[in-house]
Amino acid sequence: MSRRYLLWFAQEYLDFRLAEMQSILSMLKIEIKYVEKSYNKPYWIVELPSESCIKKIASRSVLIKSCIELWSSANTEERLHENLKSAMKNDSGKWIVESVTGESNDNHICHSSLLTVCSDPSKSFKIEVETFCKHFSMKEKVEKIELFSYLPLEGPVKLNNPDMKFSYIEFYGVDPNNVPKQPEQLFFGRWIVDGQRDLIQALSLKKRNFIGNTSMDAQLSILMANQAQVTMGDIVLDPFVGSGSLLVAAAHFGGNLNICYVWGSDIDFMMLHARTRPTRK
């Protein structure tokens, strides 16, 4: 049975989002069904065969911020909670999506098995509140969290390293200069895994001993390595290597033991030997 997931993206390099995802899916041989796919909003809703599939995708993607097992999606807060309460009674094993004539689908009800597996009283949990294009105070976040008290989460609340983490997201559009009073879309679900955003800092140009005037941004280098489908055992040649940003990203995907071989050449001998005047010493 396929699972439905919310892919929450960084709102950066929008033109590369689909290309990166298609390359990763092809490389990992994963079948995907798009329930909702937008090119300007920071999320997609997809169906995948298993949780292991979403973890494999997240292990490569630098544009994905987090992956959430979706429990409910709605256009209003009231409807979101109604959907979750209905989900507790949905024993069909399938998602129920009812269409309303003239309106967008606002009745997304997951199957009860997603909720019951999280009712173990020995497993701790916490609920996190996230917004897009709007800021909530801590008091407001706590008030939002308390509204989910009806969920069958019987374990203790634990803010640091809980066994389970749940995400409540309110999306207020993409225009920070025209933020609506009410959210356009709301989501709730179980957090599964984060993407590889930490790699941007790990491979940051600021940590390099030598960079040139045209050294490639770390995130763009990772995107290129993903689109090239670099994996263990590959041999990567960059004939215009410069200061080596692409090869640094490619070598990372070889892992510590699963080696990826990288080679580079360049017409600028001084650049290859780090003897040109660097942008930063």
Helix H or strand E segment including 209: none
Token representation of residue 236: 């990567």
Q: Which residue has the tokens 């390293």?
A: 161
pTM across the whole model: 0.89
Domain with CATH 3.40.50.150 in the chain: 198-272
Which of these CATH numbers, 3.40.50.720, 3.90.550.10, 3.40.50.150, 2.60.40.420, describes 198-272?
3.40.50.150
pLDDT at position 98, please? 62
Phi/psi region, residue 204 (left: phi>0; alpha: psi -120 to 50; beta: rest), is: beta
Q: Tell how strand 164-171 and strand 125-132 pair up.
A: parallel
pLDDT in tens, 12-47: 999 999 999 999 999 999 999 999 999 899 999 999
Question: What is the second-level CATH architecture of the domain 3-194?
Answer: 2-Layer Sandwich (3.30)
pLDDT in tens, the chain (281 residues): 678 999 999 999 999 999 999 999 999 999 999 999 998 999 999 999 999 999 999 999 999 999 999 999 999 999 999 999 999 999 988 888 765 444 445 677 898 999 999 999 999 999 999 999 999 999 999 999 999 999 999 999 999 999 999 999 999 999 999 999 999 999 999 999 999 999 999 988 888 776 766 678 899 999 999 999 998 888 999 998 888 888 889 998 876 555 778 888 888 877 777 666 655 54
Q: Where in the chain is the domain with CATH 3.30.2130.30?
A: 3-194
Separation CA 132–CA 51 (nearest Å): 25
